[in-house]
Amino acid sequence: MRSLKISALLILTFTATSLFAQTQNSKFSFEFNVGPSLATQSLGDTDLNMGFGFEGTFTYRFMPHLGVYAGWGWNKFASDDPFEGVDADFEETGYVFGLQFKHPFQTSDINWLLRAGGLYNHLEIENPDGDIVWDTGHGLGYQVVAGIEVPVGKKWNLVPTVKFHSLSREIDANGNTRDLDLRYLGVRVGLARNF
């Protein structure tokens, strides 16, 4: 009976360690994250409500702690204020790219990570029916991300992050050229898969 208990304990220990062990040889990963977005200032003279967004990114690790990432994201903000006389929602979509630094906490399997990169995004202003009223066209911006990576399986990680996102675009609305500066903090929870 005692050997059965020891065998069961050894099997459980082996299974748990293999489930939570990180694959150090993985050079590629894909992450999908979602969460709320909070504008840090008005967009023009329009106050934005809390928004929501998601992002999908591929990362290639070319050094032990350094990699490059690229992906696509979407964020939507509603407002109680009209924009140029239109009840509007604001959608930001486009591409992200940059460098990622990832390092373990001492001897832990948990990593902390930092990302710094650019955006190539645009803003669409939509009416309540979902029709696009104005589009800024794509332009460059930047993002900075900080978070942790927690193993939840041999090839899977839970990735909670906080990001600051900045995009400045011009729009021609009703014959007026307006500068729109979208800046927000995003709180994201992601799931990453190593390859």
**In the CATH hierarchy, which fold is given to the domain comprising 24-194?**
Porin (2.40.160)
Asked whether residue 106 carries a pLDDT value surpassing 80, the answer given is yes
- Which of the pair, 56 or 23, is modelled with greater confidence? 56
pLDDT (tens digit, 9 = 90+) per residue, 7-31?
Answer: 455 444 444 444 444 445 689 999 9
* pLDDT score for 150: 97
Residue 5 has pLDDT above 90, yes or no: no
pLDDT of residue 15: 43
More confident residue, 169 or 106: 169
Please return the burial class of 26, using the count of CB atoms within 10 Å of its CB with bins 0-12, 13-18 and 19+.
middle
